Structure 1
Amino acid sequence: MDSITQAALGASVAAVVAGRHCKPKTLLVGAALGTLPDLDVFISYGDPISDTVKHRGFSHSLFVLLSFSLLLTALWSRFRLNVLSFNRLWLLIAACLLTHPLLDSFTTYGTQLFWPLDVSVAISSIFIIDPLYTLPLLVMLIASLLWQEKMAKLCGVGLLISSCYLVWSIAAYSIINQRVHDEVKNTPLVNKPIFISPTPFNTVLWRIIILDGNKYYEGFSSLLDSKKYGEYPIQWAQRERGSWPLEQTSVHVDDLKKFSNNYIQYKIIDDQLVVTDLRLGLIEYLPFRFVVAKRTSQKDWQLIPPVRIEERKVKPKHLPALWLRLLGNQDVNADLCHINECPLVTTSQS
């Protein structure tokens, strides 16, 4: 999740654990601890693909954070006087640190909760920024600063509301998942890999991807859609997924395939091979796109160090269509799924 959300979550958790001992500085400590795991973004792993797949790694490991919380508690207790007992202080620090990766695991990106074990958790029930999750935390934090005698209780209310919304996101995911399986039943797409994720800032409109060899299908389903003939039909747009054209393999691409569970697109643009993680983003706004090879002749390719492609700016014409589709208007599917190619622009190589 975004840094504001993680800071608000950390501050709220700290307030609840501190209880009657909570003070404004407790909220600051909790906010700092809540954002601490994301400092790994400042670590360079040598290339943009490695930076992508190794983010939310060791710094988001429950094993690492538990150990670090004990160390931090011991240091804090030694050099500062505290009204909290050692156990309560450790619980506060550990809770602020651990809730960060646990919340991240509900997003699409994936979180290595059990690093160094090679396991990534991505429930994909909430978008990386969702105001309906964050606002209750922020509102109650502000209220707690105004009524400091009720600081812990107010923050607890914010946590309860946001947690209920998180549970709701799982329920919404389950509803859409059932719709998709009902839709593809008795079709050639049955048993094909299916990926479902919420669209930006909500848990009402969901994006669906189904892989089918060198093609993939993209569709949208809203919880506000109306039934037609007893079902919730999904209109699909067929896309070209492409295939790997080189004889030699690429370690970087293999890492990206594993990171994305093989939801990868291969595309040739301006004699350059672009690989894209199809899970993150929507329509033509797919931010994780990398140039990994260039064509040297009609049939020959040369691997190059990965270069990340600059993200496309959202076109205003798509925003009304996205909103109308969220409200259940399926007539805008054609506009929503339209893709316009734009020139290849790469960012500076890491």
Structure 2
Amino acid sequence: MDSITQVALGSSLAGAVAGRTLGRSALLVGAVLGTLPDLDVVIDYGSAIANFTYHRGFSHSLLVLAPLALLLAWAGWRWKPELSFPRWLTLTALVLITHPLLDAFTTYGTQLFWPFGSPVAVNSIFIIDPMYTLPLIVGCLAFLIRPPAKTALTAGLALSSLYLGWTVVAQQIITDRVQPVLADTGMATADVLVQPMPFNTLLWRVTAITESRRSEIVTGFLDGGTRPVPEFFERRPDLANMVAGFPEAQRLEWFTRGFLAYSEVGDQITATDIRLGLPGAHPFTFVLARYSGDQLEAVISSQLPRPAVAPETLSVLWSRITGETPVLCLASLSPPVQGQTC
């Protein structure tokens, strides 16, 4: 999740556990601990793909954070012994461990068990969702105004947790809705990713991939009885096979679970993470290889500039969420021309 959300979550937990003893400084302690796992972004791993795929790695591993919580609890107890060591341990463990657990509900991928296993991604909440964050912020503001405000903090944590539970339920409802559509288009056995569109859980994006093509569906809870409409994109398995032996391509495939789009851009072969962003506005495109004469050579990966998002995109998205625009073409991020389909 975004930094503001992690700070609000950490502060809420710290205030609920230790606010009566530590006062307003509990919020600061929670904010610092809630930010700590994301400091791995300052590490340069040597290439764009390495930086992309090692983020949310060791610093988000439960196997690392559990002993770190113990160490920080001891340090906190030495600093403020009026809060008992068990309470310090409860505080540090809750804040540090809920950070990666919350991240795991997003689409990016969180290596909860680093150095073992694959990234965990539930895909049920967008990386920025005001409906999750606002109850936490309100609780923290209540604490700042009149500590310890335990009721407000607890209510904020309860509401945000219930909302997180709703995201999983909503995801399953959407999954059940699109399965017949995928079956009708010959993609019943495709790998499927179901995730919310930006900033909400009313409108959802479904991505299904086979070796040769990709289907995208946008459907929401305010669509009434409108049947979801698939939009198709060609894939380039030939390009995927050409770079399949390159270590950085293999790591990117592992990290994204194959949800990639390969392209030729001049003399370069690129790979785009199609899980994140939207078609035409995917933020993560990497250069994997370059032709030297007739020979294709691996390069130290670099990231292409993020595409600009048109100012009217948010209004278009809002009209699609509310059902005012019944169909949204992802290729153009606009409604289809009257009488035509995407």
Q: The TM-score by the shorter chain falls in which range?
A: over 0.9
Partner of 1:60: 60
Q: Structure 2 matches for 1:32-181, cutoff 5 A? A: 32-78=32-78, 80-148=79-147, 150-181=148-179
Q: 2:289 is aligned with what amino acid?
A: A
Helix, strand or coil: the match of 2:188?
Answer: coil
How many residues are aligned here? 332
TM-score normalised over the length of structure 2: 0.92
Helix, strand or coil: the match of 1:333?
Answer: coil
Aligned CA distance change for structure 1 residues 140 and 294 (closer, same or farther; 3 Å): same
Q: Identity over the aligned pairs, expressed in percent? A: 42
Cα deviation code 1:320-342 (max 9, x no counterpart): 322221112454424x43279xx
Contact kept, 8 Å, 2:244 with 2:250, in 1: the verdict is no
Distance 2:151 2:19 in 1: 8
Q: CA deviation at 1:66?
A: 0.8
Q: 2:27 is aligned with what amino acid?
A: L
Cα deviation code 1:109-157 (max 9, x no counterpart): 1111111212321001000011111111111211111121x42221111
Q: 2:275 is aligned with what amino acid?
A: R
Helix, strand or coil: the match of 1:185?
Answer: helix
Contact kept, 8 Å, 1:210 with 1:217, in 2: the verdict is yes
Contact kept, 8 Å, 2:223 with 2:326, in 1: the verdict is no
Distance 1:66 1:223 in 2: 39
RMSD: 1.8
Contact kept, 8 Å, 2:320 with 2:327, in 1: the verdict is yes
Q: CA deviation at 1:74?
A: 1.9
Q: 2:150 is aligned with what amino acid?
A: A
Contact kept, 8 Å, 2:229 with 2:327, in 1: the verdict is no
Aligned CA distance change for structure 1 residues 247 and 31 (closer, same or farther; 3 Å): closer
Helix, strand or coil: the match of 1:337?
Answer: coil
Partner of 1:343: none
Q: 2:296 is aligned with what amino acid?
A: W
Distance 1:35 1:247 in 2: 37
Contact kept, 8 Å, 2:77 with 2:83, in 1: the verdict is no
Partner of 2:302: 307
Gaps (5+ residues) in structure 2?
335-342
Distance 1:65 1:200 in 2: 29
User: Which residue among 238, 242, 247 is the counterpart of 1:246?
Assistant: 242
Distance 1:23 1:338 in 2: 51
Verify: 1:260 aligned to 2:251, yes or no: no
Contact kept, 8 Å, 2:118 with 2:255, in 1: the verdict is no
Helix, strand or coil: the match of 1:9?
Answer: helix
Q: Structure 2 matches for 1:191-202, cutoff 5 A? A: 191-202=189-200
Gaps (5+ residues) in structure 1?
341-350
Q: Structure 2 matches for 1:194-273, cutoff 5 A? A: 194-228=192-226, 233-243=227-237, 244=240, 246=242, 249-273=245-269
Q: CA deviation at 1:164?
A: 1.0
Partner of 1:344: none
Q: 1:172 is aligned with what amino acid?
A: A
Q: 2:290 is aligned with what amino acid?
A: K
Q: Structure 2 matches for 1:182-193, cutoff 5 A? A: 182-193=180-191
Partner of 1:338: 332
Helix, strand or coil: the match of 1:225?
Answer: coil
Q: 2:60 is aligned with what amino acid?
A: H
Q: 2:332 is aligned with what amino acid?
A: H
Contact kept, 8 Å, 2:194 with 2:206, in 1: the verdict is yes
Distance 2:183 2:125 in 1: 26
Q: 1:242 is aligned with what amino acid?
A: R
Which range moves more in the overlay, 266-275 or 4-13? 266-275
Partner of 2:288: 292
Q: 1:133 is aligned with what amino acid?
A: Y
Q: CA deviation at 1:21?
A: 2.0
Cα deviation code 1:25-55 (max 9, x no counterpart): 0110011001100000011111010111111
Contact kept, 8 Å, 1:18 with 1:152, in 2: the verdict is no
Aligned CA distance change for structure 1 residues 302 and 13 (closer, same or farther; 3 Å): same
Q: 2:99 is aligned with what amino acid?
A: H
Helix, strand or coil: the match of 2:87?
Answer: helix
Q: 1:88 is aligned with what amino acid?
A: R
Partner of 2:7: 7
Partner of 1:348: none
Partner of 2:340: none
Q: 1:236 is aligned with what amino acid?
A: P
Distance 2:16 2:314 in 1: 39
Verify: 1:23 aligned to 2:23, yes or no: yes
Q: CA deviation at 1:4?
A: 0.7
Distance 2:83 2:16 in 1: 13
Helix, strand or coil: the match of 1:306?
Answer: strand
Distance 1:113 1:124 in 2: 15
